[in-house]
Every structure is written in C-alpha cells, then in structure tokens.
Structure 1
C-alpha cells in the first residue's frame, strides 16, 4: 500500500512514446476505462499489424497546438460515457508517466472537446499503483505556462499548406482514409469531420459551425464533402454554411443537391445535349400503359426517385410485371422513373472519374455471372479500359452540367452509341484506384491546391 503514489482528483501526466510531454487528466476511480482526447482517428496497417493514427490538441481550448500520434491498435469496443451515450472506440496501449513512474495502460480514443479534461484516468489504469485523495489537486505538481510553451514550441511555427476538412460519415471508409492520407502527404493539415457531429448557428453577424462539444469550426481553408445519400439534406445544409463562411468546397452544395435529384439531373443532362436511356415519368397510374410504350416496352427498368444508388431499382421483364411494379409503387405515392433496358450492354458500364474538367481515370465494371445490373452498377469486377474520346467528352460535359468539380460518371455502351446513366457527386475510390493504380485522392487534393494557387 505504501508503495503506491498518492494523487489528487486532477493531475498532470505524459505519454512519452506518443510525443505528449504534458496533459492534464481527470483522475476518476468511478470510471473503469481510461480515455484520451483524439481527432482525425484513422486505422492503418503497419508491418502487417493493425495501427491507428490520430491527432490530439493536448491543451484544453487550444486547437492550434496539435500532436500527430500513432500507436498499435489492440481492440475496438463499445464504451458508455458518463452521459449515457454508447460509442464504439478504438483502444490502444501506451506508456503512461505519472511523476517518476511509467507503466503500460489501455486507453480508448474519443473526442473530448465537450469535457473539461483532455484525458480521463480510470481505475483499471490506476489499479495497484495509485491512491486517490479526492480532496486534493495536483499533488505531483503542474507545469508553468512557460514550461508548456517550451514543450509545445514546435507547434508555434507558421502553418504550412492548407487546413482541409473532409466532411463525411465513416472515417474507416477506404475513400476517406485515402483522401486524408493524400492531403497529409502533400503537407496539408487534414481533419475528418463527421457531419453528424456538426451543427450550425444561423446568425446575420456571427454565423458559425460547431462540432460536438462546442468547438467552433472557423479556421478551415477548404472542405471536401463526401455525403452519403441518406444524409444529403443535412450534408448539403452544412456545406452551404461552410460556403457562406467563405470556405472553399471541392463540390458545392448546389451541385451535390441537383446531382442527387434523379429527375432534375436527367433534365439538366438532356438540356446540355447529352443522350440518356429513354426515360418516362408520370403522376397517375392511369398513364401506366402509355408510359411502358414510351420507353419501348418490356423489359424495362423501374427506379424510385428517392432511392439511393443501387437501391429501389426493379427489372420488369414482361408488360404484366411492369404494370404490377409501377402500380404498386404508385399506390404507395412513390415517385418513379421508367427507363428502357439496354440489353446489349450485357451487364457492363464505364465509370469515368472526372476531376477539375479532366477525365483522370476510367474503368469498365462488369456484373458477376447471374447478377442483375438494371442499367446501374451493383457490384462485380472492375478492369482498366480506355474511354473513347466521345465518352470522355460526355463525362466532362455531364460533370459541368451538374456544376461539379469531382464526379464519377457512369456511361453505358448501346447500339445508339454511349448513353449517360448517372453522375455521382461522391464517387468511391477503391475500385478505380485498385484497377488503375492511379493516385485519384492526390488528384483531388491537387484540384484544391489549384484554387489556392499553391
């Protein structure tokens, strides 16, 4: 018992191996697990093992001081916070130093901006080593302001590169990890911004965007919106607010919104002289028969307007089946498109990746044997293909018609020539980078740099 170190309810400690010389911790024997403040959390593979890298602002209310850390990843677990919120967290093991004593502890990584301390020291880490006097604070001393400046003096150097936020939902997604990685490799300060954690202040004099915990996101040069279809409304509202704050957005909110509106986007494409599969749209079930004739009869495709990519799409192989599907959707007051089925495409389409008015890569995507493709990509294999000059022209023109800087443009080869299927404002990178071995994420960062003339 007398070999244990006595600590107060608040103490300063350090993580030497992580490069954190001083951090203030809340000592809480009521909490089982220790937690460390972390942002931009990204798992990766190092020498065949699972690791995680993350950033930390070690000083409360100071977002300019940033430490870039990485550590072996030992677990992912669900942790219930003091407010009752359940969260899946990454768990690392790191050397903790308290006074002159150093030992290995397990620590979960989480955003603690809303908390008063950048670290919580739980009872598992204290067991057998520390005794807590809850009436005392800083029994082991605390660094002076000058000492903290000395510790973190390297972070006072002028910023190099841009401060870029990736506005998305899943930090583990391949595309999001690659964009963060590409930005950092080019010397930019990259931050993953979970759009679910962002909220807005609408005010004529001081409009703001806050991040969970109250941190104001007021110092970004650019954002890259990668908004999943189910979050289109909220994600575009956030993007518009960033644009109002004079933050450059790689794809604008207006462009994303109209590209996600299936009917409106097709009308824009046609107005720009771009051919699409013959498509019909009607309000009343009474017009079903003529709608079917309009697109050349069965087989045909029925698409829900509100459906996400690859969802709400039905192949009707006979006229009777088409009538049943259309009338069933109409009975639910669902808006649908009816589209001709391009049989000669044989389950293949072309994905052209357009960045800043240029096709930077193209692949052919082919459905697995027996898989239904319904004029859209639902999976399968990807292979490198050289898009024709006409296909490139269509892809660039379609991207411009949508007002997008970055887009995945899907084209199908028909007996009538190339037809445009869809323009995706948040195209995935894994398939096209894997097939072509091209640095598409790096090209996206370059497009931002061109806007700032770096």
Structure 2
C-alpha cells in the first residue's frame, strides 16, 4: 500500500459535513456534505470538456471551490473512467462523467470515483457518497466538522489565474457599434486587456481558396484574430453565416459557429433538434398543404393556439388565435403570401410570462422573468413588457443548458415557459441582448462572455 493511503480498518469518525482535499486536482480545501443517499461522490464542475489523448478519454473542467469567492477558479484535468446516468436528490436523471482521483481527509488519503455536476447554486461544492465512505468512515449525524477545518486562504497562495495570460485580438461582427450589447462586449474585452474591432458584417467580402482563405473589409485584408463574437441580425443570417464560416476556415475561434447560428435561426429545424434531445416544449405543428391544415391544428390541440412566422424575431410575427377557425384563416392568409407558420399549443398557466435564461458554456449565468402587458398573451421587452429577477429551478436550469447544447450554441438566450408539467422551451437565441438581463440581475454578462473565450482559447491547441 502506498504511503499516506488509508487502511480499511482505520475508520474515521466524520460529522454531517467536513473539509476535505482533492490534492491531485489542486483542490486543497473544499467543504463537502456527507450524503448516505448518494452512491457516488459528486464534485462541482463547469465548462466540462471531454477530449482524447493517446486513445484515452479525459475531461477538462473548472471548479469554483468556495461559494463565497467566485473569483477563485481551479482548472482541472482528469481521466474519464465511466459515463453514468446519475439521479439527483430531486429525482432528475443526468448523464455525468465519472473520474477517479485521490481523496484526503484527517491526514488519510485514498482513490475514489466521483461524478462531475454543476453545483453552482449549492451550499456545498462536493457530496461524499457511500462508495467513498464504505469501510473507511463512521458518521455522527449530530455533529459537524469533526476532522478539523482547512483554511480557504490556501487558495491565496495558489496562482488561481495566471498573470501572464495572453492578450487577445477579438472581432465583434455587428452592424450596430453603438448597440448596448456590442458596446458592453467591447468594454468588457478592453477592461481585460484585449484589443477589439467592431466589424460591419455586410461590408466583409471573402477570398475563398483552399491555400489561404481570407476576409477583406472596406478594401483591406483583415488581420489575424484570435476570436470572433458574431452578433448576426436576422435579416442577414445567410450572409452572416458565410462570413462566420470563413473565419472558421481561417482557424479563428468563434463564440457561436455558423452551423449553430443556422440551427437557431431555422425555427422549424430548431424545434426538431429540441424534440430529438428530449427537451420539453409546447406541442408544435407544421404543414405545407392547405388541405392538411385542419388535421394539423387538431393534432396540436384545442384553441386558443399560438401562430408563429418562421422568420419572425423579437416577438414580431406571433399571433394568438382564439378559435380554430381563426387559426385556419390566419394560416391560409400567410400561406397565400408564401410565408411559413408554426402552430403551438397555448400554455395558459404561464399567464403571459416567460423566463429568459442566459447560457454560457455549460452554465446558466443569469435569468430574468418577462411579463407581458395587461391584455397581451406574450411577454416581450421590445414591445412594452416588463422584466424582473427570478430564481429558476434545477429543472429549468437543466432544460436551458440542454437546449443550448442541442443546437451547438456556446452562448445563448433560452426562453422558457412555466407549465403544469414542467418547463417548456419556446425559443433559443444565438445573439441574446444583454441590456435587459444585465439591468435586472446586476450581473456582468459581457465580462463572463469574454472570460469564457479566454478559457476556451487556453484549452484549445494552436490552430495556426
């Protein structure tokens, strides 16, 4: 047996919570809750990214070990030993990576298996499960911290964020440099020492070649950028995606890829992807032939029904049909104009409110509730709705992250409705506005976007 490893006959008496260490991870002090209801121990992790190295699957992730000090972040890397469906205490099942690392408590240390899960909103960033305790610990459920305290100040001695991080050259694709979201992203990047250019997407043109793909702007070849942030308006989706693809061909990191933007902008395709991923959403119908419209409406459900133009944005092109006959008339009229329409069930219990979740990477970083004006059936800040801070449930958080991931988006605004049978995803936006959510929540979303780009580029191999 290796020196320092605990022997099974040296049982440790522990309370219902304890300070522990995961030394291989650089997590020298982390407060954990003892949980006999959990088989496998769980560790808080965000920005989880699997990768292959020499035929072995590994995973990179970030841990914020101290709930009260979110600026402390430890970058970790471990071998994946399994992927399992883990059921949490609220009954939700989630597929998680399982890693193996050394666990240390009361001067003893042994290898354990641990699942990775986002516990950002939990008081304890780690749970100690039965497989870790078995044969090694005896629990006194009436007492706390029997094994002594570890000082969180230890992280002050650790280089949590390296001082010499590379300064980046970033381009923001936007036709509105004075727009709140664009300006905030510029400020956030500059405040972190990066250089930023705002580029009008429609003024870019391409040199498409396999030898040296290039992008020109206002008569000049653009410099080499480390990353781009696409803010592509709905009216230029096709051309904007072409420009983003060209940057991708040049090896530039894109916050959202052209493919992901395209998936989110095609509402029908987006709903199909969400359905394939098993994400809750309102019952949705789509038909081409006028002779099939009545049957399609009946398959969606009883009136009232919500009708949506596939090309609509910011709440425009959305109609509430109070009766099935009204729905048929509206659809027939729009089909006469060659416009495509989705039909969705009306979630009456939402009472004109929805929730906008901002997802960055694998995490919901902010959420707000949007309430429609009296007499309106759908909330929209562009059309007079109001917004307030909201605390979302674990189920809503999971649905938002899963929705963004199913479309391939690293940065997204996910709109949810609260229904009697759980959250329903309405829409996923690849260029969410920042003004409303930053104002309501007081959170620096723009800064978190830039931090995500920094972390992604630190993990990525050189592409040039």
Instruction: Please give the range of the TM-score, normalised by the shorter of the 2 chains.
Output: 0.5 to 0.7
Q: Does residue 209 of structure 1 match 2:215?
A: yes
Deviation, 1:370, is 2.5
Deviation, structure 1 residue 301: 1.1
In the TM superposition, what is the alpha-carbon distance from 1:374 to its structure 2 partner? Answer: 7.7
> What is the 5 A alignment of 1:38-49?
none
* Structure 1 residue 188 corresponds to structure 2 residue 204: no
Separation in 2 of the partners of 1:219 and 1:405?
A: 22
Q: Does 1:243 align with 2:248?
A: yes
Distance between the aligned counterparts of 2:422 and 2:212, measured in 1? 53
User: In structure 2, which of residues 364, 369, 373 is the aligned counterpart of residue 359 of structure 1?
Assistant: 364
Asked if the contact 2:370–2:379 (Cα under 8 Å) also holds between the matched residues in 1, the reply is no
Instruction: Give the alignment partner of residue 436 of structure 2, picking from 419, 424, 431.
Output: 431
Q: What value does the CA root-mean-square deviation take over the aligned residues?
A: 1.9
3-state SS of paired residue (2:331): helix
Give 1:140's aligned residue: none
SS of equivalent to 2:338: coil
Cα drift, residue 307 of structure 1: 2.2
Query: Any unmatched runs of 5+ in structure 1?
Result: 1-157
- Aligned partner of 2:225 among 217, 220, 224: 220
Query: Is residue 301 of structure 2 the alignment partner of residue 296 of structure 1?
Result: yes
How far, CA to CA, are the matches of 2:360 and 2:420 in structure 1?
A: 29
SS at the partner of 2:320? strand
TM-superposed CA distance for 1:379, in Å, is 4.3
Secondary structure of the residue aligned to 2:303 is coil
The aligned residue for residue 97 of structure 2 is: none
Match status 1:231 vs 2:225 = no
Contact 1:284 1:330 in 2 (8 A): no
Tell me which of 416, 420, 424 is aligned to 1:415.
420
CA distance in 1, matches of 2:302, 2:381: 19
Q: Could you say if the C-alpha distance between residues 452 and 439 of structure 1 is closer, same or farther in structure 2, counting changes exceeding 3 Å?
A: same
- Gap change, CA 1:423 and 1:159, over 3 Å in 2: closer
Structure 2: runs of 5+ lacking an equivalent = 1-163, 460-464
CA contact (8 A) 1:175 1:428 kept: yes
Aligned equivalent of 1:283, options 279, 285, 288: 288
Task: Kindly state the Cα deviation for residue 171 of structure 1 after the two structures are TM-superposed.
Answer: 0.5
**1: CA distance, partners of 2:165 / 2:320:** 54
SS of corresponding position for 2:315? coil
- Match in the other structure for 1:164: 170
- 1:331 Cα offset (Å): 2.0
Equivalent in the alignment of 2:325:
320
Contact 2:371/2:379, CA 8 A, preserved across alignment: no
Change (3 A) 1:353 1:419: same
Aligned to 1:200: 206
2-side partners of 1:302 and 1:391: how far apart? 24
Deviations 1:173-220 (A, max 9, x none): 1000000000000000011111122111112222210011x2211311
C-alpha distance in structure 2 between counterparts of 1:312 and 1:450, whole Å:
38
State the aligned residue count: 296
CA distance in 2, matches of 1:220, 1:184: 15
SS in structure 2 of the partner of residue 181 of structure 1: helix
Equivalences for 1:74-113 in 2 at 5 Å?
none
**CA–CA distance in structure 1, aligned partners of residues 279 and 234 of structure 2:** 24
Q: Is the 8 A contact 1:265 1:402 kept in 2?
A: yes
- Give yes or no for contact 1:252–1:404 (8 Å, CA) kept in 2: yes
Aligned with residue 448 of structure 1, among 450, 453, 456: 453
User: Structure 1 residues 437, 447: CA separation in 2 closer, same or farther (over 3 Å shift)?
Assistant: same
- Quote the Cα distance in structure 1 between the aligned partners of 2:317 and 2:370: 20
Secondary structure at the counterpart of residue 306 of structure 1: coil
Aligned to 1:400: 405
Give, in whole Å, the separation in 1 of the partners of 2:383 and 2:412. 18
- Which structure 1 residue ranges, 4+ long, deviate > 3 Å from structure 2? 374-379
For 1:25-36, what aligned pairs fall within 5 Å after superposition?
Answer: none
TM-score, normalised relative to structure 1:
0.63
1: CA distance between counterparts of 2:430 and 2:277?
Answer: 18
Which one has the largest radius of gyration?
Answer: 1
Question: What's 2:124 paired with?
Answer: none
CA deviations 1:57-98 (Å, max 9, x no partner) are xxxxxxxxxxxxxxxxxxxxxxxxxxxxxxxxxxxxxxxxxx
1:195-247 CA deviation, whole Å, 9 max, x = no partner?
Answer: 122111112222210011x2211311100001111111111100000010001
- Residue 131 of structure 1 is matched in structure 2 by none
CA distance in 1 between counterparts of 2:374 and 2:342 reads: 27
